[in-house]
């Protein structure tokens, strides 16, 4: 019994299926004192799926033409499902003898391995070493061993399933990580080179490829150009830097829009780089990068040696290709939008300069030309005309400064809104020479979030920019106050003003931007103006928190004429 105890303990030392079955065979042989031992695992369709032996040397094993197929005594055991113990194999009615080259065998003990009535395998022992036949005690020992063997086999299967599930889970996590990397890259950058480089490296890492390259279709035309190369060596995967859709596997994928993989590299020999072929390249995979049903690029991977590519792997690569394709289109659209924005801004600046500053300079030129003619005819009038020209030049200088202020606006990235408003008024006064005034209710500052403060800062910035370019005021006042559940910003100037009705259908970028900023912050935007009557811009945003003091009790910070 001690031997049985030691044997059963050994069955659980290693849960890998092959090791468990080998230990069962060896333990049965040792316990029963058999010369030969074997273990068979039945197949679902009949016969044996697995057959493991011990006791037979390599020379004997090589002489046997085939392993048992589930006939004879083995087939009888599969049929009856119970132990068989006989002194001579040849005397049993089910015996069909042995194949040529098989060593002779006489005594036999066969014991089934089952769990909950379900057959798991069979133990076969032949040729008792120290007796002519196996005893009843031998049968009892092996039957007890078979019961433990059933538990060990079941544990081994569960262990194997757990390992398989863990492997599948790990694979899914890697795949989700790849998708997450793609989503993060797409959302965090519009730099196409960075995006492609990041995605290609993650794909190479996940699939353990040796080299990878991405070709992108040119924005105008049908030519695909190599955009990025990654891999263990600097050598390119393909000889060509560009292709037009007919060359090899790349052309096939570009034309069909379907993924392709191959272990037959002969057809790609004229396109593949010699260095990677010499290094042992054995498998190629290419998938399309698609967007809106169009192929915008091709991603190709090269693997050392031959390997199969599963449908799930192709499916994942195709999904990645679709995501990268959309990112390529987004990056290109973003780049086009940036170019259009630059062109529109250039056109706007050109029109503003033509309608404002250039005409002012032209007027100063006419004044100076007229003054030159007065030098001899009417010297007394020269002085006032020169003063007029100087005033005109000063106005031009102020206009230019206003445009510079508009092109390089101050940023609200640190400090309080109070500090930001003082900075804006200080810059406005330096560029326009207008008098400025700032009144800030401290309680209003308490009622603002950082985002709301940024909104009011930018509205003030645009209101001052509009005043500097169009209104030409001599005085501007900015006030910030708390009114119950709202914070109110007011920017008032005494400039030229304009007709609201005439401007309502042609709001410029500045006015529409201010209105949109207020709307996005959950607030209201108002503008009041009349020709010659100045302009008042008002924005009201929701306040946060409760009022802690009455309006009279709260102090104000005031800057009149010299803010900050």
Helices (H), ranges, 283-381: 311-352, 358-377
Domain closes at, from 161, 177, 197: 161
Query: Are 152 and 258 in the same domain?
Result: no
Radius of gyration of the chain (CA): 44
Average pLDDT of span 122-132: 91
Q: At what angle do helices 450-466 and 417-432 cross, to 10 degrees?
A: 10
From 100, 94, 102, 287, select the one nearest 110 (Cα to Cα).
Answer: 94
Residue 26 — left, alpha, or beta (φ > 0 → left; ψ -120 to 50 → alpha)? Answer: alpha
Contact 83, 105 (CB under 8 A): no
Q: Establish if 366 belongs to a structural domain.
A: no
Q: Cα–Cα distance between 288 and 254 in angstroms, integer?
A: 6
Residue in the structure block whose two tokens are 């044997």:
7
Mean pLDDT, the chain, integer: 81
pLDDT at 131: 93
Q: What is the pLDDT of residue 542?
A: 93
CA 185/CA 182 separation, integer angstroms = 5
Q: How far apart are CA 121 and CA 115, in angstroms?
A: 10
Give the Cα separation of 283 and 59 in Å (integer).
39
111 and 243: one domain? no
Between CA 196 and CA 461 the distance in angstroms is 38
Helix (H) or strand (E) holding 261, with range, is: strand 260-262
147 and 193 belong to one structural domain: no
pLDDT tens digits, residue range 512-541? 888 988 999 999 999 999 999 999 999 999
Is residue 19 situated within a structural domain? yes
End-to-end CA separation in angstroms for the chain = 98
Contact 509, 485 (CB under 8 A): no
Decide which of 248, 280, 311 is a domain's last residue.
Answer: 311
Verify that 12 and 144 share a domain, yes or no.
Answer: yes
Q: Contact at 8 Å (CB) between 422 and 564?
A: yes
What pLDDT is recorded for position 486?
A: 93
CA distance 456 to 479: 11
For residue 555, the domain's CATH number is 3.30.565.10
CATH number at residue 76: 3.30.450.40
Least trusted range by pLDDT, from 62-71, 315-324, 423-432: 62-71
Which structural domain, as residue segments, surrounds residue 218?
Answer: 186-311
Q: Are residues 23 and 130 in the same domain?
A: yes
Q: Is residue 378 part of a domain?
A: no
Same domain, 32 and 76: yes
**Do 443 and 477 belong together in one domain?**
yes
Is residue 10 predicted with pLDDT exceeding 60? no
Q: Is residue 386 part of a domain?
A: no
Is there a single domain that holds both residue 138 and residue 16? yes
pLDDT tier, 561 (very low <50, low <70, confident <90, very high otherwise): very low
The verdict on residue 355 lying in a domain is no
Are residues 31 and 168 in contact, defined by beta-carbon separation less than 8 angstroms? no
Domain assignment present for 453: yes
Q: Are residues 461 and 550 in the same domain?
A: yes
Domain count, the chain: 3
What local confidence, expressed as pLDDT, does residue 551 receive? Answer: 43
Q: Are 403 and 424 in contact (CB under 8 A)?
A: no
Q: What is the pLDDT of residue 527?
A: 94
Whether 35 maps to a domain, the answer reads yes
Over the range 296-332, which residues count as b (16 or more CB within 10 Å of their CB) and which as e?
A: bbbbbbbbbeebebeeebbebbbebbbbbbbbbbbbb
Interval 307-325 mean pLDDT: 87
123 with 9, same domain: the answer is yes
Task: Kindly report, residue by residue over 44-59, the tens digit of the pLDDT.
Answer: 777 777 888 888 887 8
- Say which residue, 45 or 23, is predicted with more confidence: 23
Residue 148 counted as domain residue: yes
Region 399-409 average pLDDT:
63
Same domain, 416 and 284: no
Asked if residue 148 and residue 10 are part of one domain, the reply reads yes
CA dist., res. 131 & res. 389, Å (int): 133
């Amino acid at each position: 019994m001690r031997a049985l105890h030691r044997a059963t303990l050994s069955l659980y030392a290693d849960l890998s299926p092959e090791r468990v079955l080998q230990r069962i065979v060896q333990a049965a042989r040792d316990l029963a004192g058999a010369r030969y031992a074997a273990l068979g695992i039945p197949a679902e369709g009949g016969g044996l799926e697995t057959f493991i032996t011990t006791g037979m040397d390599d020379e004997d094993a090589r002489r046997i033409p085939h392993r048992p197929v589930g006939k004879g005594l083995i087939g009888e055991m599969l049929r009856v499902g119970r132990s068989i113990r006989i002194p001579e194999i040849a005397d049993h009615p089910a015996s069909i003898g042995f194949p040529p080259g098989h060593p002779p065998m006489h005594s036999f003990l066969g014991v089934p391995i089952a769990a909950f009535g379900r057959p798991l395998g069979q133990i076969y022992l032949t040729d008792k070493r120290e007796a002519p036949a196996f005893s009843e005690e031998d049968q009892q020992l092996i039957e007890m061993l078979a019961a433990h063997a059933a538990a060990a086999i079941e544990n081994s299967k569960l262990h194997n399933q757990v390992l398989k599930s863990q492997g599948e889970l790990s694979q899914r996590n890697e795949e989700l990580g790849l998708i997450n990397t793609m989503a993060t890259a797409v959302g965090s950058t519009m730099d196409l080179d960075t995006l492609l480089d990041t995605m290609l490296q993650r794909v190479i890492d996940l699939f353990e490829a040796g080299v990878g390259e991405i070709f992108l279709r040119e924005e105008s035309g049908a030519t695909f150009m190599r955009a990025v190369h990654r891999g263990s060596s600097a050598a390119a995967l393909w000889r060509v830097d560009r292709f037009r859709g007919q060359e090899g596997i790349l052309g096939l994928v570009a034309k069909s829009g379907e993924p392709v993989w191959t272990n037959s590299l002969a057809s790609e020999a004229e396109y593949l780089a010699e260095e990677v072929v010499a290094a042992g390249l054995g498998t190629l995979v290419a998938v399309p990068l698609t967007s809106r049903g169009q192929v915008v690029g091709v991603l190709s991977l090269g693997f050392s040696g031959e390997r199969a590519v599963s449908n799930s792997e192709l499916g994942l690569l195709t999904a990645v290709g679709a995501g990268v394709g959309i990112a390529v289109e987004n990056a290109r659209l973003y780049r086009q939008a940036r170019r259009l924005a630059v062109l529109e801004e250039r056109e706007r600046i050109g029109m503003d300069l033509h309608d404002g500053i250039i005409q002012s300079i032209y007027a100063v030129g006419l004044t100076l030309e007229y003054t030159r003619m007065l030098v001899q005819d009417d010297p007394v009038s020269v002085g006032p005309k020169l003063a007029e020209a100087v005033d005109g030049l000063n106005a031009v200088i102020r206009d230019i400064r206003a445009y510079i202020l508009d092109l390089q606006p101050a940023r609200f990235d640190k400090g309080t809104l109070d500090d930001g408003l003082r900075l804006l008024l200080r810059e406005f006064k330096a560029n326009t020479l207008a008098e400025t005034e700032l009144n800030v209710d401290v309680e209003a500052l308490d009622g603002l979030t950082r985002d709301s403060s940024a909104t009011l800062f930018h509205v003030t910035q645009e209101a001052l920019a509009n005043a500097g370019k169009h209104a030409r005021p001599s005085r501007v006042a900015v006030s910030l106050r708390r009114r119950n559940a709202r914070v109110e910003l007011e920017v008032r100037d005494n400039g030229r003003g304009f007709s609201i009705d005439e401007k309502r259908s042609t709001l410029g970028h500045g006015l529409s931007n201010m209105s949109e900023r207020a709307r996005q912050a959950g607030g209201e935007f108002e503008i009041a103006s009349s020709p010659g009557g100045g302009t008042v811009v008002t924005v009201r945003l929701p306040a946060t928190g409760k009022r802690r003091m009455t309006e009279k009790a709260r102090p104000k910070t005031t800057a009149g004429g010299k803010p900050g």
